[in-house]
Structures are given as C-alpha cells and as structure tokens.
Structure 1
C-alpha cells in the first residue's frame, strides 16, 4: 500500500474545505492562522509534480494544493504590513489573491521554488491594497513614490523629521530625487481629518464641517438661486409681453420703475390715463393675476 504524502493531504484538503487543518470556526483570524500553519509543506519534487499537473492538465486540485501549502507564507508577509493600521485579515485576503495569480503563472521548469516566485505577487497585491485604503487621498501614484512609501518609515530614525543628510542618503539609496523624499515625508507626516465630529457635544462647533461648509453652495440653495434669477429675467419679461400696453405700463410704473419699490401712485396713473384711481387699481389687479399665471411655469 502506497504511503500518503503531504501533497496528497493538501489536494485532499482542496477537495474538502473542512478537511486537514480547516476544521472548526474559521471566522476568527487567529483560528485561520492556526489552521494554515498546520497545513503540510511540499518538497521540491511534490511542488514540481503539482505545478506540471496544473499547467499541462488544468488540474484544479493540483492548483489548490499549491495554494494551500503556501498560505502560511501570505500570513507571514502580511504580518510585516500591520504598521499601516489596516486589518490583518484584509491584508491576508489580498495576499491570497496575489498567491493565486502566482500559482497561475508559475513555471516549474525554471528551477525556482514557488515560495520565491510568489513573494513578488503577494507583496504587489498588498501594496496595491495599502495604497488604495491607507488614506482617502492617494499618497503614491508613480513608481518612485511607491518605492518611497514602503521604504521611508524603515529609514527614518524616530518620529522627528529627516535631516538634509538623511534625505540625501535615502535619495541616493533608492535612486530618487531628494525633492521626492521630502514630499513623501510631508505626506506621511499628515493625518486624515474627519469633517464631522464623532460626537454630538460641543466639539461639533470646532469640527471642519462647521467652518468649511457654505450655505450658498448647498444644492437646494443653488437651485433656488437659479430659479430666482430665471424668474427675474426670462420669466418676468415673458409675463410682461402677454399684457396689453396700458396694463404693462401700469405694472412697470407701479412695481418695476425703482429698485426700492417706490413706484407711481394710483392717482398719478389715473391722471395719466384720464380714468379714476379705482379703475387703475382694477386694471393692475387683473394684470398681476395674469402675470402670476404666466410665471407659474418658472417656479
């Protein structure tokens, strides 16, 4: 009877998710890490065999065996990025994606172990996740900035700003401009600030939202101002055009002649048109009612 090998056990694990090492509740990150560390490691011969089965036959069980045997590597690498304040579980999850990409592209005939090849892919996925989630505002977009982002902290001595000599040394080591080192140090020294206070007490008045907000920029205020401007220009002119000349003259003289609202009196217009003041008031009332109907579509 042929003795079982670590690769056989790992492939069996891929076929049954609750088999070797993955029993119990894995919702807890500590339980997951403990289960991962119990998975057997592959010898070089077993690794080559599984990799060839995956490349030549598209054997998913073989690919699962390669992935499962290297999950502990992802956990180990993720532990080195905990200083960025992101969840350990999320870092592991992103690293696992990188591991699967590495397994998909791994060529066993190159003479390189999967552990060495996969490290690049695992770190690349973690780097991308950190850069996207460490700040609301992206701090590194170019290749040089990414290099600085992940190396600056380890080269700094304490929390104080770097001296000119340290800046020059780091720029030379990483082959970047000293201005880029200074800029990245400035970015990393800042912190994201919440616009609103997390509490409902007196601290609210000191939160940025209290002095950065502008009522005039609120969407409702902007729309209201736009409607008012349209009402004053296009709407008013359209409404006046629908009046007869006498009614328009009365409305303009009474309400639009002066900005302060001090227009002509009923008696002054009565003398102008040779009618009674009461008749002017009646004409004005009918005209305003007609204008109100015309302006309804602009409100």
Structure 2
C-alpha cells in the first residue's frame, strides 16, 4: 500500500481538511485533557494536527518504508505529545507536537531500514539522516580539495571514523550470514567463520541482573523527583537526543540559568538517593 491506495488518499484528504486551531483553543483543549481527561478535547486536538503526521511522512518516504506505517508512527508521536504537553508553558502545541512526530518517525525508520541497527546514538542518527544529501552535494561541488569524509565530519561535527563507518553501513543491502562465501559447492557460509569470543553465559547473566537492578533504582529515583526536575533530568540525561538548557527553558517558560539550577539540584537528589543502601 502507499499513496496510490484509495484508503490512504482519503485519509490524507481528510487530514488536510481538518480545522486549524488558534493558540487559545489549543490551550483550552490541552487543559481539558490534562485536568479532566476529556477525551473529546483530546480527539479534537489530535485530529486537528493529523496533517502534521501526513506532512512529515512525505519527508521520510525516500527511506523506502511503508507510507502508511510512517503516518501511523506520526500519530503515535502526536499522542505522546498530547500526553506530555504542558499547556501553561507558553509554547504552541503544534510546535511541540512536530518534534515528537519527527522523533517517532526517525526511530521507526532506523528500526526498519536495516536488519542491523544502523544508528544507536545522536551522532549516528545525525549521520544517518544527512549523509546521503551531503554526499550528493559533495558530488555537485566536485572541485573541492577537501576530502569528502573530512568535509562531512566537519559540517556535522562528528569524527571521520564515524562518517566512514556510516558510509559502509549504508553502502549496500543486508546479506544473510547463511550465504556461502563463494560460488563453490563446498564454500563455507559466512556464519561459520565467526568466532564466539563473548564472555561465559554465567558472567553475562550476572552482569545483566546487576544492570537491571541499577536501572530500576535509577528510574525509581527519577520518578520521586518533583515534576519540573523530573522533566529536566529525562530530557537532558535519559533521552536519545538530549535537549539544551535553552530549549528546555523556552519549553518550560523559565531562564536557561534556572534550568541549570534545577538540573544541578535534581542530580544532587539522585546521587543521594542512589547512595542509600537498599532495604534488606
């Protein structure tokens, strides 16, 4: 299915025909959902901005993932935005929702573009979504004396090694490890050449248990923070793409310095909480 599917085309037309909300209406609907769990208000807010999911889906079509799946992911991002939006911080819901929609689609593309996890951190994500465009631009500007990898690394503020690694990952399709290394009948499969140098199973399990315990303790400590401090810690230290102090200040309606103070206080509380011995 895709743009030629009549159901998708009808959905796109319906989304683009939805009402455009002004700022006071957005705020009123968001408050009704936050304070009263008014599902009619939530539905109106989500429906009005389904056009954003349609619009962003068009930008990600070049990654050859199903268009309808992109729209669905965008709508999931829209729902998350409605759940987390603070209507009293002064920002427009449409602006806030756009970030969540784009992030949801980016995560979906990276999960489904390749069987191998292509991007696992902010720099790799940046490379994944900008590399092709920058390679095309470099081909057009072919008279540059600067090596392509060096130019891309400089402009995206990543290392040349990361650029070369991502170029290798995106240079060809996935290959099965069961495929033979050569066309000979007795050619060994690639999987037979892989040595297992992983630690013993017992060591791995114990490490996983300890990591799981530490993660539970951390998230429990974060959950006990005051709401504003919890939001800052989540956005600055637990998100895949940490936001800046200035961005958080604009979102929360406070100064960058105030965000820094709250972050420092929150990290102090977390440190004290995690140092407390667990109950026997």
Q: TM-score range by the shorter chain?
A: 0.5 to 0.7
Match of 2:106 among 119, 127, 133: 127
CA distance, structure 2, for counterparts of residue 142 and residue 183 of structure 1: 13
- Aligned counterpart, 2:71: 92
- Aligned counterpart, 1:167: 149
How far 1:186 moved relative to its partner?
1.5
- Aligned counterpart, 1:241: none
CA distance, structure 2, for counterparts of residue 59 and residue 43 of structure 1: 19
Relative contact order higher in (CA < 8 Å, ≥ 6 apart): 2
- Gaps of at least 5 residues in structure 1 are 1-25, 198-205, 217-299
Give the alignment of 1:2-81 within 5 angstroms.
Answer: 28-81=7-60
How far 1:119 moved relative to its partner?
1.4
- Report the TM-score when normalising by structure 2: 0.58
73 and 51 in structure 1: CA distance in 2 versus 1, 3 angstrom threshold: same
Helix, strand or coil for the counterpart of 1:157? helix
CA distance, structure 2, for counterparts of residue 77 and residue 209 of structure 1: 48
Q: Say how many residue pairs are matched.
A: 184
CA distance, structure 2, for counterparts of residue 132 and residue 116 of structure 1: 25
How far 1:36 moved relative to its partner?
1.0
What is the root-mean-square deviation of aligned Cα atoms in Å?
Answer: 3.2
Match of 1:186 among 157, 168, 173: 168
- Report the TM-score when normalising by structure 1: 0.55
- Gaps of at least 5 residues in structure 2 are 193-280
CA distance, structure 1, for counterparts of residue 84 and residue 7 of structure 2: 31
1:83 aligns with 2:59: no
